[in-house]
Amino acid sequence: MRSPAQIAPNREALHPFDLKYGTDTGGYLSPEELVTGQTNDSLNYGYSAIAPSVFRAAIERWRGTLPALAGRVEAYTFVDVGAGKGRVLLLASELPFRKVIGVELHPRLAEIAERNVEQWSRITRNGSAIRVVKQDALKFRWPRPPLLVYLYNPFHCSVVAQLAQRLCALPRSAAGLIDVLYVNPTCADALSANGSFSHLSTVRIQMSEADQKADPYNTSNDLVSVFRRTR
């Protein structure tokens, strides 16, 4: 088994996002470091946060897929499943989503995310719509669609499959789209296996130079897929 230092050799780097806002969203935590004895926490894939440049580019690509009937971001609730320290919640609050919700099982990560939201709110005044829910994602009570569900390769494919089933059971309407923005989609097959989600696109998005230097894995890009519930 590879050590955290081998998987993420740059895990201790301070990210410019945190330096700018006084938050704590960077680094890498291995799956073993996040086990607390709860039912599904052994199925986690560890923690790291998306590069802001990748997220912003991915959101623009997603917005380009929206049909005219459901094209208003203001109608959508953004839900980060496996929110970790909450970086993407802060980034999502830069857009006019109806609500921004992070679902996080690990108590310590959820507490860090809440502190980050407080700090972000003080600095930017953009955190009023952010809520962190300390809960197993498979027990989360989903808000009404339309939804943009965000996954940053958070856990085992069996959990992704169950998550897809729960999303497919939500009410359907012409404007009630459910989209999934899936970064580093190692379990994409599990998401689409039940036939309710259609794959819209997969692109490799380059990080900014600043994000590359602070990336815990020393990588320069992320693969991002978009799925939409169509049945």
Task: Give the model's pLDDT for residue 69.
Answer: 63
Nearest to 100 by CA among 92, 108, 112, 111: 92
Q: Could you tell me the two tokens for 116?
A: 């980050």
pLDDT in tens for each of the 231 residues of the chain? 567 777 888 899 999 999 999 999 999 988 888 887 777 667 788 899 999 999 999 999 999 999 876 568 999 999 999 999 999 999 999 999 999 999 999 999 999 999 999 999 999 987 678 999 999 999 999 999 999 999 999 989 999 999 999 999 898 876 688 999 999 999 999 988 878 899 999 999 999 999 999 999 999 999 999 999 987
Backbone angles phi, psi at 43, to 5 degrees: -95, 10
Contacts of 84 (CB under 8 A, 6+ apart): 25, 47, 48, 49, 104, 109, 113, 152
Task: Give the model's pLDDT for residue 71.
Answer: 65
Backbone angles phi, psi at 10, to 5 degrees: -110, 25
Contacts of 95 (CB under 8 A, 6+ apart): 59, 73, 78
Instruction: Compute CA 29 distance to the chain's CA centroid, rounded to the nearest angstrom.
Output: 16
- Whole-structure pTM value: 0.94
Which domains does the chain show, CATH number per domain?
10-229 (3.40.50.150)
User: What is the 3-class SS of the chain, one letter each residue?
Assistant: CCCHHHHCCCCCCCCHHHHHHCCCCCCCECHHHHCCCCCCHHHECCECCCCHHHHHHHHHHHHCCCCHHHCCHHHCEEEEECCCCCHHHHHHCCCCCCEEEEEECCHHHHHHHHHHHHHHHHHHCCCCCEEEEECCHHHCCCCCCCEEEEEECCECHHHHHHHHHHHHCCCCCCCCCEEEEEECCCCHHHHHCCCCEEEEEEEEEECCHHHHHHCCCCCCEEEEEEEEECC
Whether the CB-CB separation of 80 and 150 falls below 8 Å is answered with yes
